[in-house]
């Protein structure tokens, strides 16, 4: 298991006013709407989610970094657990022509509005019960998804990722290292169920038998 940063540039490219979301209205109502993972979350206002999640090519660099790190090549199979609209999966096909991709997400809306090139390869489902055989994928990734699960489902999801991953695995979650980052995370988050430090995440990984790599998003 190794700690690896792949998307810090993408994360830092978006400016966030942490207090505005907490103070601009009914934060509980915003979170309730966001947790439906429907139009409000993906393409509604910034108070309830992304404020419009559209393809802009920013994930290509991330795909290239991941592909280089794990030595991906034509014919390798990649699964994205919590794929959203499939933008990162599409970029894998551009970064490594000939890779085989698959994605799963809990959001019917995201899949219906996904990148047309990858839409037929996306499946509606839960991270805690992956509909794939053991060792089916050379790389399994899960970006900004696992922290949306409560602990019982989180453990199952980690075990499922471990089960279907034949070689490499990488997960990315929200985290904090100090009180300032914790407050920023609490003010900004809408869908998180798990708030853990990196040390606690590692403890959970070991308890679940997850042996892949991981990274964290910090709200500095």
CATH number of 8-43+56-77+87-115+127-170+184-218: 3.40.50
Q: How confident is the model at residue 13 (pLDDT cuts 50, 70, 90)?
A: low
| DSSP class of 46 | G
Instruction: Show me where the domains of the chain are located.
Output: 8-43+56-77+87-115+127-170+184-218
Rounded Cα distance, 149 and 167, in Å? 24
Give the sheet arrangement for strand 213-218, strand by strand. Answer: 122-124, 100-105, 77-81, 137-143, 165-175, 213-218
Return the number of other C-beta atoms located less than 10 Å from residue 116's C-beta: 10
pLDDT beyond 90 at 14 = no
Mean pLDDT of the chain: 95
47-57 per-position pLDDT tens digit: 999 999 999 99
Yes or no: say if 91 and 59 are a contact pair by the CB < 8 Å rule: yes
Q: In the chain, what is the greatest distance between 2 CA atoms, to the nearest angstrom?
A: 49
Cβ-in-10-Å burial (0-12, 13-18, 19+) of 96 comes to buried
71-127 per-position pLDDT tens digit: 999 999 999 999 999 999 999 999 999 999 999 999 999 999 999 999 999 999 999
pLDDT beyond 90 at 21 = no
User: Would you give the distance in Å from CA 145 to the centre of its chain?
Assistant: 4
Rounded Cα distance, 159 and 199, in Å? 19
Residues with Cβ within 8 Å of residue 206, at least 6 apart in sequence: none
Residues with Cβ within 8 Å of residue 129, at least 6 apart in sequence: 156, 160
For the full predicted model, state whether its pTM sits above 0.85: yes
pLDDT beyond 80 at 12 = no
């Amino acid at each position: 298991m190794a700690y690896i940063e792949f998307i810090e540039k993408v994360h830092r490219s978006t400016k966030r006013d942490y207090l505005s979301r907490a103070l601009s209205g009914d934060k509980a109502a915003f979170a309730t709407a966001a947790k439906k993972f429907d139009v409000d979350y993906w393409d509604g206002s910034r108070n309830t989610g992304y404020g419009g999640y559209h393809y802009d090519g920013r994930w290509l660099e991330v795909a290239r970094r991941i592909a280089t790190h794990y030595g991906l090549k034509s014919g390798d199979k990649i699964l994205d657990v919590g794929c959203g609209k499939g933008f990162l999966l599409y970029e894998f096909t551009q970064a490594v022509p000939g890779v085989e991709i698959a994605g799963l997400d809990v959001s019917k809306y995201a899949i219906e509005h996904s990148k047309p090139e990858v839409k037929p390869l996306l499946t509606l489902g839960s991270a805690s019960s992956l509909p794939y055989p053991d060792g089916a994928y050379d790389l399994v990734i899960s970006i900004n998804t696992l922290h949306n699960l409560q602990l019982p489902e989180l453990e199952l999801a980690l075990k499922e990722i471990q089960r279907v991953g034949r070689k490499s695995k990488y997960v990315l979650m929200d985290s904090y290292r100090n009180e300032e980052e914790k407050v920023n995370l609490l003010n900004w988050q809408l869908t998180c169920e798990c708030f853990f430090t990196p040390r606690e995440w590692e403890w959970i990984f070991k308890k679940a038998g997850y042996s892949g790599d991981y990274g964290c998003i910090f709200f500095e």
